[in-house]
Every structure is written in structure tokens, then in C-alpha cells.
Amino acid sequence: MKDTKPRGRLPGPGKDLGEGASTLARQRAAAILEVLAGMRTPMAAAEALGVSLPRYYLLEVQALHGMLVACEPRTLGPGPSPASALAALQRECEQLRRDCARQQALVRAAQRTIGLPPPTPLKPAANGKKRRRRRPMARALRAVARLQPPTAAEAPTTPLAAEA
């Protein structure tokens, strides 16, 4: 015999709407609904909650935003599992690899047709050898010298000043 209790549904009218909510959240929700229904003024609700009027309006906006988000239609069935998402991404990756290989073949065919030589492969870095450290550029040093004010002891015929 099947269970007559609906699964995954929210409580209907007459059920405890605030199940799982704190007392503070229930008080805020009740005050906001009373203001929206016209039973209280925003100032009276703010006083009842013990908050300032701007804070009350902020709470009201947050509550309305939450209500709008909760009213969005829900998808049916279970959501995507991490395994199925991974499989979908792997299929997409393989498809993109095939597309890339196809495009590369088309480029090579077009290059042969118009007579372009194939591109030369890049030289790999020397095995085990480190690159030399870059020395500071003289151009930057000249710019620094131009930016600094000349001192009285410095003669205007220094090599840096002559190059500027």
C-alpha cells in the first residue's frame, strides 16, 4: 500500500508555517506581513521589533526578495549529480578536441593549397640550463635620473645627463 503523504512538499494551510524558523524570524515575518496588510505602520512595526525605521525597510526588502526567490519554479526530478556533470564535461571536452583537430587539418590543407610552408616548431628550452637573469635596462635608469632633481654637487656634464 502506497503512502498517501505527498513527498517534498511544503506544509499547506493549517500546518506550522514557521517550522524550523527562529522566534526572531517569526516575529519579523509577522511584523512585515502586518505592515503589508495595512494592519500596522512601518514605524509601529520597527518599534515592535526594536529596530530603526531604515533597518525595518531593509528587512522588508530582504523578506520580499526571499519570497520572490522562493516563488521561482523548481525543477522536477533530482538535480545533476557530480558524476553526471563530470561525464558531461568530459564528453564536451572530447568533442572540442575533435573540433580543434578538424580545424587544424583544414588550416594545414589551406596552407598547402596556397603554397605556404608549414610553420617551424618552436625550439624547446635547453635541457638543464637556466636562463640568465635579466639585467636592468639602461633606458629605465636614464628615466630615473631624469626624474630626480640634480644636486648642486652634480655637474650637468655627467654621462646620464648628456644622454637625456
Q: 106-142 pLDDT, tens per residue?
A: 999 999 999 888 778 777 665 667 777 776 566 667 7
Residue 160 resides in a domain: no
pTM, two decimals, is: 0.42
Residue 144 resides in a domain: no
Q: How many structural domains comprise the chain?
A: 1
Residue 51 resides in a domain: yes
pLDDT tens digit sequence for 98-113:
999 999 999 999 999 9
Tell me, what's the pLDDT at 125? 61
For 28, the 3-state DSSP assignment is helix
Contacts of 26 (CB under 8 A, 6+ apart): 18
How far is it, in rounded angstroms, from Cα 160 to Cα 164?
A: 6
Residue 46 resides in a domain: yes
Residue 159 resides in a domain: no
How far is it, in rounded angstroms, from Cα 126 to Cα 63?
A: 64
pLDDT at 33 over 50: yes
Contacts of 51 (CB under 8 A, 6+ apart): 59
Q: Residues 71-97: what's their mean pLDDT? A: 91
pLDDT at 162 over 60: no
User: In terms of residue numbers, what domain contains 53?
Assistant: 23-70
How far CA 60 is from CA of 25, 27, 141, in Å, comes to 12, 12, 61
pLDDT tens digit sequence for 38-53:
999 999 999 999 999 9
- Nearest 5°: the CA angle 21, 26, 28 is 130
Query: What rounded mean pLDDT belongs to the chain?
Result: 81
Residue 28 resides in a domain: yes
Helices in 50-156 by DSSP H: which ranges?
Answer: 53-70, 82-114, 138-147
Tell me, what's the pLDDT at 96? 97
Written as one letter, the residue type at 67 is M
Tell me, what's the pLDDT at 97? 97
pLDDT at 2 over 60: no
Residue pointed to by grid coordinates 654637487:
153
Residue 115 resides in a domain: no
For helices 42-49 and 53-70, what crossing angle results, to 10°? 100
For 124, the 3-state DSSP assignment is coil
How far CA 89 is from CA of 96, 100, 163, in Å, comes to 10, 16, 59
How far is it, in rounded angstroms, from Cα 98 to Cα 103?
A: 9
Residue 158 resides in a domain: no
